[in-house]
Amino acid sequence: MKDLVTDEEFRAFVKAKQVRVRFYGDYVRYFQGTRFEFLLDLFQQLTAETLHFSRYRLFWGVVGNDATEQVAQMGAEYYMREKRFPARREIIEAYYGEFVAPVSLFIGYDKFSAFDMPLLATGQEDLYFMTSPTPYLTERQLRLILFDHLYSRKGEPDYAEFTPQDWARMRHFYQTNQENTMGIGLNLHGVWYPLAQVTGTEKLLLDEFSTL
């Protein structure tokens, strides 16, 4: 982590793209008094150096999987200081360093689990999981994800407008995949590999385009 934070190429990238960097999580409590305590100064330094940038924002989660105790402490300190309970926005600002809107899109990999976004998950976010680690994300792959996020997942089906063909198509798909479960994988020597589950999507596409 030290090497990445102090890496000259990374710092040059942050400066060139005007990226404001902030760190969130319970890292102070975990690092203080340990051999990793020096990282606290490095985090603070990078945050201070990029604070004036406003083009992009990068939030770096460090021990940021569970914010329960940290948020409880922040809430208690806020009440003692302001004599009132903090609003949701104020809690988010205290935790992340500034306000962050609820997450609408999450891209992960490996086992299907969303993490490191305390206070921002509402249950409305679209979840995507790569089969390769996220640093391997390609431009084409990101375009496909964004298209799905912006167009394919929007709107709810109007079942009242369904034709007999629509019902037959959906019935066939569900029956074909009745025992298929997204998220099932295979563990080989400690590495989890996802197994392909859904079948019949090619037929759905062929049926759809054949009616156009």
Q: Are residues 151 and 165 in the same domain?
A: no
CA distance 38 to 50: 19
Same domain flag for 77 and 109: no
**What pLDDT does residue 96 have?**
96
Distance, CA of 145 to CA of 139 (rounded, Å): 10
Quote the CA–CA distance of 171 and 207 in Å, as a whole number: 14
* pLDDT score, position 4: 81
Residues 75 and 38 in one domain: no
Whole-number mean pLDDT of the chain?
91
Question: What's the pLDDT tens digit per position in 126-153?
Answer: 999 999 999 999 999 999 999 999 999 9
Tell me how many degrees the CA angle 57-70-65 measures, rounded to the nearest 5: 60
**Mean pLDDT, to the nearest integer, of 52-65?**
93
Instruction: Read off the pLDDT band of 205 (50, 70, 90).
Output: low
Lookup: tokens for 134: 């996220």
Asked if residue 71 and residue 59 are part of one domain, the reply reads no
Token code pair at residue 77: 């300190």
Higher local confidence (pLDDT), 198 or 105 = 105
Same structural domain, 49 and 36: yes
Residue pair 63/32 in contact by the 8 Å Cβ criterion: no
* Same domain for 52 and 1: yes
Asked whether residue 164 falls in the same domain as residue 209, the answer is: yes
- Domain of 77 in residue numbering reads as 66-100
Q: Residue 212 pLDDT > 80, yes or no? A: no
Do residues 172 and 132 share a domain? no
Domain count across the chain? 4
Indicate if 109 and 144 belong to the same structural domain: yes
Same domain, 85 and 109: no
Identify the H or E element spanning 79: helix 68-82
Residue 120: per-residue pLDDT: 95
Residues 8 and 50 in one domain: yes
- Distance from C-alpha of 73 to C-alpha of 79, rounded to nearest angstrom: 10
